[in-house]
Amino acid sequence: MNLSQLYYFRKLAELEHYGKASEELFITQPSLSNSIGNLEKELGVPLFERVGRNVRLTSYGAEFNEHVCVALSEIDKAIDLMKLYSSGLSGQIRIGAVISIQRNFLPLLLSSFRKEFGDNIDFDIHQETTYDCLKGLLDGKLDVAFCGMVLDERDIVYEPIITQNLIVGVSETHELASRESVSLEELKDYNLVSYRKESFASTLLEGLFRRVGLSPKQSFNDEISAAAFVVSESDTVAIMLETLDDIKTRGFVGIPISDIQTPFHTIYMAYKEKAFRSCVTDQLIEFARNFAKFPSGKIGDLRDYYRREQIECGTYKKGDFLPTEKELMEKYELSRVTVRQAMTNLVQSGYARARRGIGTDVVYEKVEEQMEGVISFTEEMKKHHIEMQTTYCKMELISPGETVARSLQIPLTEPCYCLKRVRNAVGKPMVYTITYLKKICELPTEPEPYMESLYQYLREEHGIYIESGRDTLEAALPSEEVQKALKIDAQMPIFIRTRQTFRKGGEVFEYSICYYPGNRYKYTVEL
């Protein structure tokens, strides 16, 4: 059986006459008859029966025809699509996106994509929450999404696209409106609102609010709603994520927060790892990957690119000189003003140093941990005067596997606690930790107690003291779970530190595995 036989069969089934069918197919009638005869012989059933000078489908032929028409229709579509591709990309892309990128980044991305690949591309855009975006990807209703990240979604690939800061939103008549910045501590006496509980952003802010003692009312789902709310309720203050452009709401003012790490939140391009994707969708993913470096020629785009892709990843090390203004202007087609301000921002943020008459050199170094005794990550960062932030925290009581049970020296039938955390320092994920604790007392499963130092919490609240420990360090490539947690790609080397800690008398209490990105971390061992 070949494809020509199926096309011949479909045409004969349509016209019910050998002469007419052979004429439209541009073949002789004996050739058509012979082809259909061979097809019937191969299938083992009669497909047509004669009715005078015409033919008609048998019951076998009618059933076969239904499947053939569906199959050939899909083949015809594929052929037409390839013909369109020959003169430029075409097709539909179903896109889910959170509202904060739908006024600036997304329109810029899609218009730039059309300029590059032609106008035969249809974008079906859905304004969704992060959770709805991910559900749409998993259900096959979306091809790609721009949203937050949920670590538990193992079938989803996340690629960081853009970052957002946390801001305070007020009416232009509010007493804070004239401030250049404000701290969270200053907000305690104001009427505060923030995201509704069902919003993804609410999960980002919940731990932060607990740590600083804020209790905003949960009043809105998105930034546009928040802006409208504070304008209408002029005594109200909103704690919200910034949009990528100024919110065009009359009377709204956004104020930076001085005591929060920036950037606060990352928006990812997400897509299902094993799903079928059209050529045009794959092209958009690749285009967005590159476009995100400089979406609009903004100062921050160039600054963040050099900080993220060049300095932190080690292309430029401490003491290396960055390209000159002229070189950057020519390479990225940016103005001198933009380039100069970007370099100034790198200097102001502590990544580089301007040397008059010489150039701009890198002063950034990886976070260094000295291995001297058992100390928590939080405590180590405090030694270096580095602010730490927990961006993901999950505590649960589980049944241990063989490795965990053996490491904790407990039976397989005895439950233990499992604590997963992503810890940030200098604005980036610095460690993903999976900690298993022996159940010697009842520990809460809500995340609040574990947002800061675990060891300090155990000492102060439960009288559990760690006397000694054993660390093992090895280098490896990251698993998919670690890639997502640390926001790195599959080729980025990582350090894996496996730790056992002991209470008084040598009793094992903790077994933990810590994953550190190789481009952001180094160890020093005093011998």
Residues 234 and 283 in one domain: no
Which of 275, 290, 305 terminates a domain? The answer is: 290
pLDDT at 188 over 60: yes
- What's the pLDDT score for residue 119? 77
Work out the average pLDDT over 273-278: 79
Residues 379 and 510 in one domain: yes
Would you place residue 222 in the very low, low, confident or very high pLDDT band (cuts 50, 70, 90)?
confident
Residues 244 and 275 in one domain: no
Name the residue with tokens 């940016």.
334
Work out the average pLDDT over 24-50: 90
Q: Which residue has the higher pLDDT, 500 or 491?
A: 500
How far is the CA of 64 from the CAs of 40, 226, 229, 286, in angstroms? 11, 59, 62, 41
Residues 135 and 245 in one domain: no
Residues 427 and 520 in one domain: yes
Q: Where are the beta strands (DSSP E) in 173-212?
A: 191-195
Name the residue with tokens 């479909």.
10
Q: Which domain holds residue 72?
A: 3-85
- What's the pLDDT score for residue 513? 93
Residues 187 and 44 in one domain: no
Work out the average pLDDT over 260-271: 81
Contact 230, 109 (CB under 8 A): no
H or E segment at 68? helix 59-85
Domain containing 388 — which CATH number?
3.40.1410.10
Count of domains for the chain: 5
pLDDT at 245 over 70: no
Residues 394 and 499 in one domain: yes
Residues 258 and 233 in one domain: yes
Side-chain half-sphere exposure of 113, counting CA atoms within 13 A: 27
Domain containing 127 — which CATH number?
3.40.190.10
Q: What is the mean pLDDT of the chain?
A: 81
Report the distance separating Cα 468 and Cα 373, nearest Å.
7
Residues 351 and 249 in one domain: no
- What's the pLDDT score for residue 300? 46
- What's the pLDDT score for residue 526? 53
- What's the pLDDT score for residue 108? 76
